[in-house]
Chain A
Amino acid sequence: MKKIIRIAIVVLTIGSFSCKDYLDTPLTTNSVVENYYSTPGQAEVGLVGCYDGLQRIWDGGVAFPVASTVMADMTFGGTGAADPDNYKMMDEFDKNVAPAFMNMFEDNWKAYYAGIFRCNTLLMRMAEQDWTKDNARATEVQAEARFLRAYMYFDLVRMFGNIPLLTQPTKANIPQVNPDEVYKLITEDLLFAIENTSDTPYPGIAATDYGHANKWASEALLARVYLFYTGYYGASDLVGLVKSSDALGYLEDLITNSGHGLIDDYSSLWPAAATYEAAMRGDSISANTYAGETNKEIVFAIKYTYTSDYNGNADGNSWMVMNGLRNQSWGKYGYGNGWGACPVMPSVYVNWNANDIRRESSIMAIVEEGIDYQQINDVKEYTGYFTKKYTPTADKDGNSITVTDYGAVNFMIGQFQDYFSIRYADVLLMAAELGSANALNYVNMVRNRAGVTPVASVDKDVIFEERRLELAFEGHRYWDLLRYDNTLDYAVNKIAFSGRVMTAGAEVDKVIDAANIKLTRGLCQIPFNQITLSDGVLVQNAGW
Chain B
Amino acid sequence: MKKNYWKIKHRDRALLGVLIALVLGLVYPAAAQNRTVSGQILDEEANEPIPGATILVKGTTNGTITDLDGNYSINVPGSEAVLVISFVGYKSVEQTVGDRSRIDVMLPMDITSLEEVVVVGYGTQRKKVVTAATVQVKGASLQKRNNTLPMQALQGQAAGVSIRSNSGQPGTGMKVQIRGVGTIGNSSPLYMVDGIATSDISYLNSADIETIDVLKDAASAAIYGSRAANGVVLITTKKGSKGKAQISFDSYYGVQNRYKKVDLLNARQYAQIMNEQFLNSGGSVSNLPFDINNLPNYTGKGPANTNWLDQMFVKNAPTQNYTLGVNGGSDQGVYSLSFSYTGQAGVVGGAKYSNYGRYNARINTENKLFNDKLKLGENMTLTYTNKNGISDGNQYNNSLRSAFNTSPLLPVYDQNGNFFNTNDSSIHDQNGNGYWNKTEANPYASMVYNNQNATNQQKLVGNVYGELTPVSGLKIRSSFGVNLYNDSYRSFLPEYELSVYAFSKYSKVTQSMNRSRTIQFDNYATYDFSLGEHQFSAMVGTSLYDYSREYVSGTNANIAFSGIDYAWLNNTTNKSLISLISVNGGPMDATGYTNGPSKLLSYFGRMQYNFREKYLLSATFRADGSSRFAQGHRWGYFPSVSAGWVISDEGFLKSASVIEFWKLRASWGQNGNQFIPAFQYTAPITFQYANYNFGNQEGANTPGAYPDRLSNPNVKWETSEQIDIGTDLQLYSGKFNVTLDYYKKSTIGWLITAPILGTAGANPPVINGGKVINSGLEWELGYKETFRDLSFSLSVNGNYNKNLVKDVPTADGIVHGLTNQLYANAPEFYRAQSGHPIGYFWGYQTNGIFQSTSDVKNYTNADGKVIQPNAEPGDVKYVDQNGDGVLDNKDKVQIGNPIPKVNLGFTISLGYKALDFSVMAYGAFGQQLVQAYRSQSGKYSNYTTAILDRWTGEGTSNAMPRVNNSSSNFINFSDLYIQNGNFLRIGNVTLGYDFSKLLKVKAIGQLRLYAAVNNLWTFTKYTGMDPDVGYGVSNGFANQFASGIDLGFYPNPRTMLMGLNVKF
- Could you tell me if A51 and B692 are in contact, using CB atoms closer than 8 angstroms? yes
Q: Is B371's CB within 8 Å of the partner chain A? A: no
- Could you tell me if B440 and A96 are in contact, using CB atoms closer than 8 angstroms? no
Q: Is A516's CB within 8 Å of the partner chain B? A: no
- Could you tell me if A208 and B542 are in contact, using CB atoms closer than 8 angstroms? no
- Could you tell me if A97 and B966 are in contact, using CB atoms closer than 8 angstroms? yes
Complex Cα–Cα for A327 and B890 (A) = 43
- Could you tell me if B704 and A407 are in contact, using CB atoms closer than 8 angstroms? no
Q: Which residue of A lies closest to B710 (CB)?
A: A171
State which residues 136-153 of B face A: CB under 8 Å.
none
State which residues 571-602 of B face A: CB under 8 Å.
574, 576-580, 582, 584, 586-587, 594-599, 601
Q: Which residue of A lies closest to B289 (CB)?
A: A504
Known interface pairs A100-B936, A311-B584, A406-B698. Does A55 touch B692 (Cβ–Cβ under 8 Å)?
A: yes
Q: Determine which residue in B473, B500, B679 has the highest number of CB atoms from chain A within 10 A of its CB, and name it.
A: B500
Q: Which residue of A lies closest to B586 (CB)?
A: A29
- Could you tell me if A23 and B634 are in contact, using CB atoms closer than 8 angstroms? yes
Known interface pairs A82-B938, A294-B696, A536-B889. Does A117 touch B761 (Cβ–Cβ under 8 Å)?
A: yes
State which residues 691-750 of B face A: CB under 8 Å.
691-696, 698-707, 710-711
Contacts of B596 in A (CB 8 A): 25-29
- Could you tell me if B438 and A82 are in contact, using CB atoms closer than 8 angstroms? yes
Closest beta carbon of chain A to B623's beta carbon, Å: 11
State which residues 491-542 of B face A: CB under 8 Å.
500, 505, 523-525, 527, 529, 538, 540-542
- Could you tell me if B542 and A305 are in contact, using CB atoms closer than 8 angstroms? no
Q: Is B689's CB within 8 Å of the partner chain A? A: yes
Closest beta carbon of chain B to A161's beta carbon, Å: 16
- Could you tell me if B698 and A31 are in contact, using CB atoms closer than 8 angstroms? no
Contacts of A375 in B (CB 8 A): 438
Q: Which residue of A lies closest to B593 (CB)?
A: A29
Contacts of A533 in B (CB 8 A): 755-758, 812, 816
State which residues 504-535 of A face B: CB under 8 Å.
504, 506, 508-509, 527-535
Q: Is A3's CB within 8 Å of the partner chain B? A: yes
- Could you tell me if A100 and B761 are in contact, using CB atoms closer than 8 angstroms? no
- Could you tell me if B760 and A171 are in contact, using CB atoms closer than 8 angstroms? yes
B758 in complex: contacting residue of A42, A109, A169, CB < 8 Å? A109
State which residues 153-195 of A face B: CB under 8 Å.
164, 166, 169-174
Closest beta carbon of chain B to A115's beta carbon, Å: 8
B706 in complex: contacting residue of A50, A211, A327, CB < 8 Å? A50
Contacts of B685 in A (CB 8 A): 30-33, 36
Q: Is A120's CB within 8 Å of the partner chain B? A: yes
Q: Is B15's CB within 8 Å of the partner chain A? A: no
Contacts of A53 in B (CB 8 A): 706
- Could you tell me if B627 and A110 are in contact, using CB atoms closer than 8 angstroms? no
Contacts of A327 in B (CB 8 A): 423, 438, 500
Contacts of B755 in A (CB 8 A): 533
Contacts of B820 in A (CB 8 A): 103
Closest beta carbon of chain B to A507's beta carbon, Å: 8
B696 in complex: contacting residue of A52, A54, A109, A292, CB < 8 Å? A292
- Could you tell me if B542 and A80 are in contact, using CB atoms closer than 8 angstroms? no
- Could you tell me if B544 and A166 are in contact, using CB atoms closer than 8 angstroms? no
Residue interface bits A288-305, CB-to-B below 8 A is 1, else 0: 000011100000000111
Known interface pairs A25-B627, A121-B707, A171-B756. Does A307 touch B699 (Cβ–Cβ under 8 Å)?
A: yes
- Could you tell me if A506 and B701 are in contact, using CB atoms closer than 8 angstroms? no
Q: Is A409's CB within 8 Å of the partner chain B? A: yes
Closest beta carbon of chain A to B716's beta carbon, Å: 14
Q: Which residue of B lies closest to A117 (CB)?
A: B761
**B51-59, B125-133, B191-199, B821-829 - interface stretch:** B821-829
Known interface pairs A48-B704, A315-B701. Does A532 touch B889 (Cβ–Cβ under 8 Å)?
A: yes
Q: Is B326's CB within 8 Å of the partner chain A? A: no
Closest beta carbon of chain B to A126's beta carbon, Å: 14
State which residues 287-345 of A face B: CB under 8 Å.
292-294, 303-309, 311-315, 327
Q: Is B437's CB within 8 Å of the partner chain A? A: yes
Q: Determine which residue in A3, A7, A308 has the highest number of CB atoms from chain B within 10 A of its CB, and name it.
A: A7
**A9-17, A196-204, A257-265, A277-285 - interface stretch:** A9-17
- Could you tell me if A23 and B599 are in contact, using CB atoms closer than 8 angstroms? yes
Complex Cα–Cα for A414 and B505 (A) = 13
A305 in complex: contacting residue of B470, B693, B756, CB < 8 Å? B693
- Could you tell me if A210 and B542 are in contact, using CB atoms closer than 8 angstroms? no
Contacts of A166 in B (CB 8 A): 759, 761
Contacts of B826 in A (CB 8 A): 100
- Could you tell me if A407 and B579 are in contact, using CB atoms closer than 8 angstroms? yes
A33 in complex: contacting residue of B631, B711, B813, CB < 8 Å? B711
Q: State the interface size on chain A (CB cutoff 8 A).
A: 119
Q: Is B971's CB within 8 Å of the partner chain A? A: yes
Contacts of A307 in B (CB 8 A): 578-579, 691, 693, 699, 701
Residue interface bits A107-131, CB-to-B below 8 A is 1, else 0: 0011001111110110000000000
Q: Is A209's CB within 8 Å of the partner chain B? A: yes
Q: How large is the interface on B (under 10, 10 to 19, 20 to 34, 35 or more residues)?
A: 35 or more
- Could you tell me if A96 and B627 are in contact, using CB atoms closer than 8 angstroms? no
- Could you tell me if A315 and B693 are in contact, using CB atoms closer than 8 angstroms? yes
- Could you tell me if B698 and A170 are in contact, using CB atoms closer than 8 angstroms? no
A32 in complex: contacting residue of B523, B594, B682, B936, CB < 8 Å? B682
Q: Is A543's CB within 8 Å of the partner chain B? A: no
Closest beta carbon of chain B to A459's beta carbon, Å: 39
Q: Is B678's CB within 8 Å of the partner chain A? A: yes
Closest beta carbon of chain A to B870's beta carbon, Å: 7
- Could you tell me if A52 and B437 are in contact, using CB atoms closer than 8 angstroms? no
- Could you tell me if B505 and A403 are in contact, using CB atoms closer than 8 angstroms? yes
Known interface pairs A83-B439, A101-B825, A315-B691. Does A23 touch B696 (Cβ–Cβ under 8 Å)?
A: no
State which residues 617-634 of B face A: CB under 8 Å.
625-627, 631, 634
- Could you tell me if B704 and A51 are in contact, using CB atoms closer than 8 angstroms? yes
State which residues 216-244 of A face B: CB under 8 Å.
none
Q: Is B603's CB within 8 Å of the partner chain A? A: yes
Contacts of B476 in A (CB 8 A): 7, 10
- Could you tell me if A25 and B692 are in contact, using CB atoms closer than 8 angstroms? no
- Could you tell me if A208 and B703 are in contact, using CB atoms closer than 8 angstroms? no
Contacts of B686 in A (CB 8 A): 30
- Could you tell me if A11 and B524 are in contact, using CB atoms closer than 8 angstroms? yes
B704 in complex: contacting residue of A45, A209, A408, A506, CB < 8 Å? A45
Residue interface bits B368-396, CB-to-A below 8 A is 1, else 0: 00000000000000000000000000000
Contacts of B77 in A (CB 8 A): none
Closest beta carbon of chain B to A310's beta carbon, Å: 9
Q: Which residue of A lies closest to B553 (CB)?
A: A311
Q: Is B471's CB within 8 Å of the partner chain A? A: yes
- Could you tell me if A82 and B439 are in contact, using CB atoms closer than 8 angstroms? yes
Contacts of A535 in B (CB 8 A): 811-814
Known interface pairs A22-B599, A173-B811, A532-B816. Does A11 touch B541 (Cβ–Cβ under 8 Å)?
A: yes
Q: Is B967's CB within 8 Å of the partner chain A? A: yes
Q: Is B62's CB within 8 Å of the partner chain A? A: no
Contacts of B889 in A (CB 8 A): 531-532, 536
Contacts of A171 in B (CB 8 A): 710, 756-757, 760, 764
Q: Is B287's CB within 8 Å of the partner chain A? A: yes
Known interface pairs A31-B684, A532-B889. Does A14 touch B693 (Cβ–Cβ under 8 Å)?
A: no
Contacts of B61 in A (CB 8 A): none
- Could you tell me if A173 and B812 are in contact, using CB atoms closer than 8 angstroms? yes
Q: Is A99's CB within 8 Å of the partner chain B? A: yes
Known interface pairs A11-B524, A49-B704. Does A116 touch B761 (Cβ–Cβ under 8 Å)?
A: yes
* A-B pairs with beta carbons under 8 Å apart, 21 shown: A3-B471, A6-B474, A7-B540, A11-B524, A28-B587, A29-B587, A30-B687, A33-B683, A45-B687, A50-B706, A80-B439, A83-B439, A113-B761, A171-B760, A173-B812, A209-B694, A306-B699, A309-B582, A327-B438, A407-B579, A409-B580
> Nearest 4 CB-CB pairs, A to B?
A117-B761, A407-B577, A48-B704, A535-B812
20 more A-B residue pairs beyond the given contacts A23-B601, A52-B691, A306-B698, with a C-beta to C-beta distance below 8 A? A10-B476, A23-B599, A29-B594, A32-B682, A46-B705, A49-B705, A82-B438, A85-B966, A98-B966, A103-B820, A106-B819, A113-B760, A115-B761, A210-B696, A211-B693, A294-B695, A314-B689, A378-B500, A416-B698, A531-B889
